[in-house]
Amino acid sequence: MSNFNESNTVEAFVHHILCGKITQTAPPQPGLSRTNRKINYVGWHYLPSQNIPRQPQEVFVETFVRDALIRLNPEIAANPNRAEEVLYRLRAIVLSVRSDGLIRANEEFTAWLRADRTMPFGPNHEHTTVRLIDFDNLENNQYILTTQYTYRAGAEERRADLVLLVNGFPIVLIEAKTPVRKAVSWVDGALQVHDDYEKNVPELFACNVFSVATEGKELRYGSIRMPIELWGPWRLDDDAPPASLAALKHTIASLLNPAIILDILNHFTLFATDKKKRRIKIICRYQQYEAVNLIVNRVLAGRPKKGLIWHFQGSGKSLLMVFAAQKMRLRSQLRNPTVIIVVDRIDLDAQISATFHASDIPNLIKAETRTELERLLRQDTRKIIITTIFKFGEADGVLNERENIIVLVDEAHRTQEGGLGIKMRAALPNAFLFGFTGTPINQRDRNTFYAFGAEEDERGYMSRYGFEESIRDGATLPLHFETRLVELHIDKDAIDQAYTELTGGLSDLDRETLAKAVSKMAVLVKVPDRITKICADIAQHYQQKVVPNGFKGMVVTYDQECCLLYKAELDKHLPPETSEIVISATGKDERFKPYQRSRDQEEKVLDRFRDANDPLKILVVTAKLLTGFDAPILQAMYLDKPLKAHTLLQAICRTNRTYGNKKTHGLVVDYLGVFDDVAQALDFDEQGFQQVVSGITALKNEFPGAVQKCLAYFPGVDRTLSGYEGLIAAQDCLPNNNVRDNFAADYSYLANLWEALSPDPMLINYETDYKWLSQVYISVQPTTGMGKLLWHALGAKTIELIHQNVRVEAVRDDLEEIVLDAELLEVVLNSPDPRKKGKEIEIQIARRLRNHISNPRFRALSERLEALKERHEQGQIHSVAFLKDLLDLAHDLVQTEKEIPPQEDEGRGKAALTELFLEVRNEQTPKMVERIVNDIDEIVRVLRFPGWQKTSAGEREVRQALRKTLFKYALHQDKELFEKAYGYIKQYY
């Protein structure tokens, strides 16, 4: 952290930005004394936690809440005792967290905060709205920042670094890590919130809008129970360099501005039901927030009447539309507007509708037919209407002249430039038109910028979020392409000629009406020997490169007949249930009849594909699913169809969705030579895209240098040494945290390359070195579990390599013997080489502590070891004193292990499983949690044996038992639930 004194904590830095005084006097802060009215531009007033009138077991500050209720509600001001009735309701929500789950409690509290709840406080007990926050006049609210906010739930007590309270409600929690080590990052703070606070003191988050984690370099925010990998950055200032103090200052001042927090609470927070019938909380990403407010402000201003939103594939355009529709419907200035969502494909219609319906957006209607759309518009319906562009195809004349109609057009680059777009504009002459695209077209005859871009927008668009930003923010992943079987690539001249004929008179909708014009191309593609070789290669590539990491694939063929041919050939190499054809089966050809599916039937097939535990691993397609299809588990696309420009871009971006922290990239395997000229293949406006699509060949070229960079940390070390000798020699080359963290960063990059390339034959020459580096990396990982950004779990292929054909020669562990044997202890202390002996015992202690990494009873011992190492490395204690302190620590470690009853970890396992199933339960499984947990506990106790976690047979048996138990309760398709439950079993049993 340049220009920042590290003795100042990040907590103090955030406090300084939010509460730094400026000269002008701010408006009076309700509830604050007159002497404290000078505040800064953000609007927070600092109040030490000891000065806040609350008990540790109270979530919100009842005194402040009562004041706000009286201040903001005339009915309560007339009878202040009514405040107690509201407080009673709010306390009940907090008490329901453990029984109903945190999400449902937070959803109900959010409804109260948004003034969506009423009480019978009016004349004759009429219900009136209860306001807890004033969203119209923000100066009427009380804004307090405090530090070390302690909350106690039973025996559990946690202290949040900073908390922001509005009218007494803790709506934002900030976890600030001090940047003393490169390895410690925002991830560690986010994990503390997600894995500790939200689980052990969930009541504290009953009224939470979002939480923030930062280490003084980068900041991320996320809503309750949001997986850490989905926590997003906030970047509304593009001028400041990322990961800098200047950028962080702008981020804090922007995101944590009361106006923005309350805007997010009121308009950018959704509670949705996912495909597994679980409630989830969704809040906006910064690009969605920015684009929605640009749209709303343009509509409020009344001009210009159009605008283009250019956001890359996978960056959340569907949700952006939901937020925009929600905010515009709620703005009283717009006088109850009609918002029309227009899509151009049935599958996109299904996707958008599903997003809106899952989010429980009120006043939503689908216009299924042209007649229905015409009736809704002529009757002046004031709702959110979802329809397809084709419903305007036969519209005659004007359907509605009203000005407060806002049309949001998805995939605006495809159909808006032709007759359909003209018809729609004629039907709604005074409507606002906003186009959404990930891949705009900038050609004379078809120009997205001309169709939607306003002249007032300097570059033709009002909001842009490109591929580079999307990857930088972790919203999507980089794409790698791999050219395969060059001898089977079709002659380039033939491709160009056939491609021209193929696309000559067709729109970009990629209809399957290619007929005679492409007969030459069809013959070239369908040569039987070619298909045989390609399918054999797909099967081999998929099994070697995709299966080990648990991902799935998609085969994109030339036409519907090719789908049949490829499926038949793939079945010779893989079990038939591995693959399935998904096409728009039309016409009379009997061969396609089995693939004529209703929308519901097709969705069931796609849900099976999304399920990691389902045997369906590969989809065979030609045009369907190349746009709008979202399946994060899809990593590899096997491409054997000529695609160009934005059509190619949209297709390959099916693979770039994030999937937990295991997926590092999307992979496109090219059998046709589409990528022979990358620049030409990606010849479209998003030039930056070409910079982040990298060929596997380029990665291969990088790999040797990455290996050498890691090996350079260990000059002169004999890498053939095993046991303590080898580990000590390696660790001596990593003498302090700074060097270890640099090694971890370089190794992480190398490990990502290995996972991407494996099992390429070129890796054979580097296998020994890579395995050695991996074992050193494991041996120096901090025992406290911190530094998750650098010190991560190894990838599947790396673990396989380490365990592959290796005789398990564990480093001798005589720690217990040394601790218990006084004679032996004397020998150890009088060792001729105390430094070496100390290193041996340090390695033993570290390995033992890693076995207990998630047990809080060992956390203090882990921190003690790290502190002891640091003092020794800095020369504060010599080797003999270091060895003595290590032996004391070893004694305490062995003693703690003995004191833990064998049942304790398993009891914690049952508690963790119970909490997990309580969180994911739905209406169908409300009473089953205890039975499910008891069933799992009983079966695992029977099956397990000492060290089962380290054997493939043990893991297989336990996994099968868990899957059978979940199947019994119809929970077997929930991949995330299965993996979490298995993780708990592995940890606690």
Q: How far is CA 45 from CA 27, 65, 131, 445, 790, in A?
A: 12, 16, 22, 57, 36
- Tell me which range, 489-503, 612-626, 818-832, 836-850, is most confidently predicted by mean pLDDT: 612-626
Residue 309 bridge partners (DSSP): 436, 463
Confidence of residue 126 (pLDDT cuts 50, 70, 90): very high
Helices (H), 73-127: 74-78, 82-95, 97-100, 102-113
Residue type, 961: A
Alpha-carbon gap, residue 925 to 418, rounded angstroms: 51
SS (H, E, C) 709-772: HHHCCCCCCCCCCCHHHHHHHHHHCCCCHHHHHHHHHHHHHHHHHHHHHCCCHHHHHHHHHHHH
**Dist. CA 307–CA 409, nearest whole Å:** 11
Percent of the chain residues topping a pLDDT of 90? 28
777 and 744 Cβ atoms separated by less than 8 Å: yes
SS3 223: coil
Range with lowest mean pLDDT among 88-92, 268-272, 649-653, 919-923 = 919-923
Helix, strand, or coil here: 676? coil
- The lowest-confidence range among 2-6, 67-71, 132-136, 817-821 is 2-6
Reported confidence tier of residue 818, pLDDT bands at 50, 70, 90:
low
pLDDT, tens digit, 9 for 90 and up, residues 139-148: 999 999 999 9
Tokens of 614: 């389902």
Give the pLDDT confidence score for residue 33 in this predicted structure: 40
Three-state secondary-structure class, residue 352: helix
Question: What are the residue ranges of helices labelled H in 758-855?
Answer: 767-779, 796-803, 815-820, 822-829, 834-850
Which tokens is 951 given?
């054997």
DSSP 3-state percent helix, strand, coil across the chain (nearest 5): 50, 15, 35
| Torsions phi, psi for 704 (to 5 deg) | -55, -40
Rounded alpha-carbon distances, angstroms, from residue 646 to 419, 686, 693, 889: 21, 9, 14, 61
**Predicted confidence (pLDDT) at residue 271 exceeds the cutoff of 50:** yes
What is the distance between the alpha carbons of residues 604 and 598, in angstroms, rounded to a whole number? Answer: 10
At residue 272, what are phi and psi to the nearest 5 degrees?
-125, 165
Tokens coding 244? 């800098």
Q: Which amino acid is at 282?
A: I
How far is Cα 358 from Cα 275, in angstroms, rounded to an integer?
A: 9
Strands 118-119 and 128-129: antiparallel
* Residue pLDDT, tens place only, 368-401: 788 888 888 888 888 888 887 777 766 677 888 8
* CA gap 422, 12 in Å, rounded: 58
**Average pLDDT, stretch 590-599?**
86
Q: Which of 587-601, 694-708, 815-829, 925-939 has the lowest mean pLDDT?
A: 815-829
Winning range, highest mean pLDDT, from 16-20, 295-299, 451-455, 588-592: 295-299
Asked whether residue 633 carries a pLDDT value surpassing 70, the answer given is yes
Residues 6+ away with beta carbon under 8 Å from 111:
117
CA 847/CA 632 separation, integer angstroms? 35
Residues 535-548 have pLDDT tens digits of 999 999 999 889 88
- The pLDDT confidence band at residue 454, using thresholds 50, 70 and 90, is confident
- H-state helical runs in 552-643: 560-570, 599-610
Which of helix, strand or coil describes residue 64? helix
Residue 237: pLDDT band by 50, 70, 90 thresholds? low
Two tokens, residue 418? 């032709």
Tokens of 907: 């009891």
Nearest to 681 by CA among 465, 479, 542, 511: 479
Look up residue 249 and give its two tokens.
């200052």
**Which residues lie closer than 8 Å to 872 by C-beta, 6 or more apart?**
838, 879, 882
pLDDT of 227 strictly over 80: yes
Range with the poorest average pLDDT among 72-81, 164-173, 877-886: 877-886
Residue 43 has a pLDDT of 81
Tell the residue number behind the tokens 């029309």, with chain if given. Answer: 340
Task: Name the least confident of 232-246, 452-466, 609-623, 946-960.
Answer: 946-960
CB half-sphere exposure, 1, CA atoms < 13 A: 25
CA distances 153 to 157, 195, 294, Å, are 6, 16, 43
Alpha helices, DSSP H only, in 114-244? 186-191, 198-200
What is the per-residue pLDDT across 962-975, written as a single tens digit (0 to 9) for each?
777 777 777 766 77
For tokens 């129970």, what's the residue?
225
How far apart, in whole angstroms, are the C-alpha atoms of residue 819 and residue 894? 8
Q: Pick the range with the lowest mean pLDDT from 1-15, 486-500, 702-716.
A: 1-15
Cβ–Cβ < 8 Å for 47, 144: yes
CA nearest neighbour of 912 among 927, 935, 897, 933: 933
* pTM attached to this predicted model: 0.79
436: three-class secondary structure by DSSP: strand
